[in-house]
Amino acid sequence: MSKKTLPDELRSVLAEHALDAPEAEASIAHVFSQTLHGDPLAAPRATRRLPHRALLTAAAAVLVLTLGGFGIVSATRQHGSSGAASSTADRASQPTPASATPRGLLPLSSRLAQRSGGATRGSIGDGQMPAAPPPPGLDCTGTPSGKAVLGGSAPLEVSAAVQPLYIYEFHCADAQGARSASTVLSYALISGVLQQRTVLVPVENDLYVDQLSTAKDSVILQGQRGPLGSYLHVELTSTDGGRNFQSRTEELAAPCAGTDLAVSMQRIDAITSGLSQTPGYTLLQLRNKGYYPCVVSGYLTVAGQPGAGTPTETLLGPAGGVTDPTYPIVQLVPGGMATAMIENGSSPGSCAPATSLSVTLPNGQAVGKVAVPALPLCAALLHPLVDNERGST
Amino acid sequence: MTDVVGGVGTEFSRFVRIHSTALLRSAYLLTGDRVDAEELLQDTLVRLYPKWPKVVAAELPLAYVRRSLTNNFLNGRRRRSARDLLFAEPPERGYEPDPAGALSNRALVRELLDGLSAKQRAVVVLRFYEDLDDAAIAEIVGCRRPTVRSIISRSLSQLRSETERRSAAAPAPQTNGSNR
């Protein structure tokens, strides 16, 4: 059986074969129709109007624990004007390459591209959002080379109000894809100018918003508590026309522990075509072998052995599966897989080729070792973890 | 059971939403067929719903459901084998050697898995996909630990010898065997 042992081959074949299983959506619907006579969460609760794909993945998330309030308190109402609208920060209109769409939760930019690409809401002008205002009070000086970016936006229809509110999420991002906590604000369009109404989520709450959507009277957020924390579902609901919001927070996934994951690798050698040559790369694959979903984001720590050094540079880009300014928050359902690409460098580097890699999660927990065929690691480029079961590209 | 917003219904709904993808993959590996896998999962969950409080009370509810899924699969296979006596020999499946070695191995392993008995296949899936230990597999399948080890050893041996036999018998790579 080539170079692998039969048990290893079996593991590999079964893991790959399992991905050919059908989507669970039809089975879930059938089970609900036979037991609960419908979907108990979707039907009576109109607030869960997440996009289809996101809903499926969120549905596949962990045991949902009500945390009794994450502290995203009812909005501090602010009437100060935010000034004229600016289009420079609005990524909503930027096209997102289809190849970058991950399999799991869609990043905000992808969702925004979908929204601006045709999702309509009749009462709010065909889903058009006013150009985003500059983020107020967002200090990015704490993020090295960081700049403020618009993560997402959505119109909010509120009861007893003629005009909708507009919800914007901002955060800082640096060149390596790291980001800061979010600030989420609501605005009203008054005489053609966006004016800030409320701060729904202040930066101090340390929520890294990954998704933003709205239902009538509700803003629905999903994101990570801190850069390495749990993945949360937060609903902010207003009963007074958008002046104040009550929050409800649930934990969807705990941070991945090293023991939750199994590491494997896939080596893709260099390909020469005509005059060009693509450098080879190695995909580190982390599979959730636990019973519950977990969440992970950022760069792995990879150390080559014996004494073969570590990748000296990190890289954020489409080659590694990322087209956003920030790396994704990856939710791993049981059996799900995340990958991180190690791109071969253009030179062999000065260190001895590694024959095995020691892999550690961004939170410092060791995952394990994986054998690799003579990888010149210290000249390699490390990409962040992405949610992609079949590879990063 | 009628309180679907805050009671058993919600717990059941959440479990189904959270774990169906993983369970369906397991069901697919057990059955080897997409439709059979869906039927197996749906049947298992619908059967478990009336006794969901018992499932939730288990130390590991997911393990409980996996056990039910596997038992359902094994029982279904027993029923099916009793029904399908007309097909004493399975239809022969062709295996064409693939010049790309890795792909051949995978296709071969996959095909050979189909040749294992239902119980052997369940044990192989539980060990090599679910990464369960002997004790957990023994509990799920309903046998003793030495039996699990024996089944794994026999299955691997069967896979290995069949792989070697076919590799030895396979001619040099040709296109569609046209000159045979």
Name the pTM for this structure: 0.49
Average pLDDT value for chain A: 70
Residue A149 predicted with pLDDT over 70: yes
Instruction: Give A285's contacts (C-beta < 8 A, 6+ positions apart).
Output: A263, A264, A265, A266, A337, A338, A339
Name the E strands within B23-173. Answer: none
Rounded distance between C-alpha atoms, residue A306 and residue B21, angstroms = 39
What part of A 49-88 touches B (C-beta under 8 Å)? Answer: 59-64
Nearest by CB to residue A14, choosing from B9, B129, B160, is B129
| Contact residues for A245 (Cβ-Cβ < 8 A; gap 6+) | A74, A75, A198, A200, A219, A236, A237, A238
Through-space distance between the first and last CA atoms of chain A, rounded to whole angstroms: 27
* Predicted confidence band of residue B89 (pLDDT cuts 50, 70, 90): very low
Which of residues A299 and A134 earns the better pLDDT score?
A299
Q: What's chain B's average pLDDT?
A: 73
pLDDT at residue A2, rounded to an integer: 44
Q: Is the pLDDT of residue A92 over 80?
A: no
Is A334 in Cβ contact with B22 (below 8 Å)?
yes
pLDDT at A325: 76
Q: What's the confidence (pLDDT) of residue B42?
A: 93
Residue B79 in this model has a pLDDT that exceeds 70? no
**Contact across the interface for B37 and A22, Cβ inside 8 Å:** yes
Q: For residue B81, what pLDDT is reported?
A: 47
ipTM (interface pTM): 0.76
- Which of A22, A63, A291 faces B34 most closely, judged by CB atoms? A22
In chain A, residues with a C-beta closer than 8 Å to the C-beta of B156 are: 6-7, 10
A-B contacts at Cβ under 8 angstroms: 141
Q: Determine whether the interchain pair B17/A60 forms a contact, defined as Cβ–Cβ distance below 8 Å.
A: yes
Question: Which of B21, B29, B44, B159 is the best residue to mutate to test the A interface, defined by the most A CB atoms within 10 Å of its own CB?
Answer: B21
Structure tokens at A337: 């897989």
Residue numbers in B near A334 (CB within 8 A): 19, 21-22, 62
* Rounded average pLDDT over A312-330: 74
Place of tokens 């925004």: A112
**Pairing verdict, β A65-66 and A246-255:** antiparallel
- pLDDT of residue A72 exceeding 50: no
Is the CB of B165 inside 8 Å of chain A's CB atoms? no
Residues 3-32, chain A, touching B (beta carbon < 8 A): 6-7, 9-24, 26-28, 30-32
Side-chain-side CA neighbours of A10 within 13 Å: the count stands at 25
